[in-house]
Amino acid sequence: MTRLSAATLDRVPSRVRRPGYDRTRVRAGVVHLGLGAFHRAHQALVFDDALAAGDHGWGVVGVSMRSAAMRDRLVPQDKLYTVIVENHSEREARVVGALLDILVAPEEPARVIEAIADPGVHLVTLTITEKGYHASRSESAAGLIAAGLFLRRQRNLPGLTVMSCDNLPNNGERLRAAVSKSVGTANSGLADWIAMSVTFPSTMVDRIVPATTGADIARWQVEGGFEDQALVRTEPFSQWVVEDRFAGPMPDLGALGVTLTADVRPWEQAKLRLLNGAHSAMAYLGGLAGLTTVDDFVRAPFGEPFLRSLWDESAPTVTRAPRLDLTHYCNRLLERFGNPALEHRLAQIAIDGSQKIPQRIVAPLLERLATGAEATALGLALAAWMRWQQGVNDLGRAFTVDDPLAELISPVAGDAAALLGLEQIFPPEARTNPALVKLVSYHLRQLETLGARGAIEAMLTHS
Ligand code: CS2
């Protein structure tokens, strides 16, 4: 079986699109931290399109923040990989050539710092997941960026645009704060230079990208006719909304399909509360009910009615924006979630819940309660996260709760009031909110006595 590489690229079947540019002419313009499937199926394609449009300065240096696994798959392929867009029975594949180099942060932090300080680099992007923003060690993303900026200033180089692409509210400001914490107070010259020469625009990124499995790779050998150990599968939809605040040269983002705006907040709230909120609700409720994928949940009799109730509660909490039609947005989500080709596993979404539910479920829930509005679907979703922490589903099957705060959570799993008291997860308004404790305790009991299916059905008939 032929494995994808520069030497075998012209043997890839002609229905698979190939990089439309000479890769030897590409220079590095972007350093991306967090080389997961999401980046490879999302931002990397925008840079690949910029290169294909003849703008050769936007090659990507990809940095793995933890393991060498992705480098070890990509290097034998000359960093080429395939993105397969799947919609029901349709497949469209494309080989991406935008990755120029791959570094593994824990093995070679100095090279990562040098890459950030490269004079040709104008942009640093990040997908380091929600928990990536808590690490305070110097090898953390913020530490690497601070060290790279230190070198840039020392060498009299221009500043940078540093762009968080993680699913967090106000991600630009969060990253700026993390970098300035890494800089510390000892170096006020650097802090001033960063304030003047570096921008941290907020962004909203959206594309559903399931984790690639060995079975996906094996299937592509048959369907695609070549071996690719680094392929990614994704959906047709892709969206990137970026706050228009750049420190230096950028690709022509508008021409590449990116939405530029002065205020990302409405998009970010719609994404976090409607898409990601529904995802987390489905992950815990569906996971408890013994379902495997997102489309299993959507196809269940209670699937669409539950999602509609959840969105009826969350959508009114989203800031309005002229270009954002929330009814259309939710209808589109239903279609996207129902795409069976993705096989997007609920267990993947359930990971790191303590880092996700505050912005996805707790924030809209608290806003609803503050105005005296109904919040039963959101309450049930939060209770499902709590029940999930007990590590056993409704069929009696045990699983490991994959969460950085698991040790803190597990001793109080099953106790709604004690869980709501955890200040590492919940804001003060949640910890001292009797209406919230009552609502969530009720749904937790429903889940314990009726199971997730029964609790959803009871919620739907009562609301
Ligand atoms: C998902 C997201 O795993 C998760 O938490 O909700 O990865 C989701 O698929 C993406 O944000 C979609 O853009």
Which tens digit of pLDDT belongs to each residue from 236-271? 999 999 999 999 999 999 999 999 999 999 999 999
What domains can be seen in the chain, in order of their start residue?
A: 9-261 (3.40.50.720), 265-462 (1.10.1040.10)
pLDDT of residue 138: 61
356 CA closest ligand 1 atom index: 5
Residue 1: band (very low, low, confident or very high) from pLDDT cuts 50, 70, 90? confident
Distance from the CA of 416 to the center of ligand 1, in angstroms? Answer: 26
Which tens digit of pLDDT belongs to each residue from 92-151? 999 999 999 999 999 999 999 999 999 999 999 999 999 999 865 667 999 999 999 999
348 CA closest ligand 1 atom index: 3
Which tens digit of pLDDT belongs to each residue from 431-463? 889 999 999 999 999 999 999 999 999 999 987
Out of 237, 272, 276, 348, mutate this one to test ligand 1's pocket (max ligand atoms within 8 Å of CB): namely 276
Distance from the CA of 210 to the center of ligand 1, in angstroms? Answer: 9
pLDDT of residue 84: 98
Nearest CA to ligand 1 atom 8: 208
Residues with a CB atom less than 6 Å from ligand 1: 167, 206-208, 276, 279, 348-349, 356
Q: Tokens for 360?
A: 């996805």
Distance from the CA of 166 to the center of ligand 1, in angstroms? Answer: 10
pLDDT of residue 185: 83
205 CA closest ligand 1 atom index: 13
Distance from the CA of 392 to the center of ligand 1, in angstroms? Answer: 23
pTM (two decimals):
0.97
Nearest CA to ligand 1 atom 10: 208
- The secondary structure of 270-303 as a DSSP string is IIIIIIIHHHHHHHHHHHHTT--BHHHHHHSTTH
Query: How far separated are the first and last CA of the chain, in Å rounded?
Result: 56
CB within 8 Å of 130: residues ≥ 6 apart:
166, 167, 168, 352, 355, 356
Which tens digit of pLDDT belongs to each residue from 361-411? 999 999 999 999 999 999 999 999 999 999 999 999 999 999 999 999 999
Distance from the CA of 355 to the center of ligand 1, in angstroms? Answer: 13
Check pLDDT > 90 for residue 186: no
Check pLDDT > 60 for residue 167: yes
Q: Residue range 317-343: average pLDDT?
A: 97
38 CA closest ligand 1 atom index: 7
Please calculate the CA angle 444-445-449 and round it to the nearest 5 degrees.
Answer: 120
- Taking only Cα atoms into account, the Rg of the chain, rounded to an integer number of angstroms, comes to 23
Distance from the CA of 40 to the center of ligand 1, in angstroms? Answer: 14
Closest to 365 measured CA to CA, from 382, 353, 385: 382
pLDDT of residue 134: 80
Q: Residue range 159-171: average pLDDT?
A: 98
Nearest CA to ligand 1 atom 9: 208
Q: CB burial class (10 A; 0-12, 13-18, 19+) of residue 78?
A: middle
Nearest CA to ligand 1 atom 4: 349
pLDDT of residue 151: 98
Which tens digit of pLDDT belongs to each residue from 35-86? 999 999 999 999 999 999 999 999 999 999 999 999 999 999 999 999 999 9
Check pLDDT > 70 for residue 155: yes
Distance from the CA of 276 to the center of ligand 1, in angstroms? Answer: 6
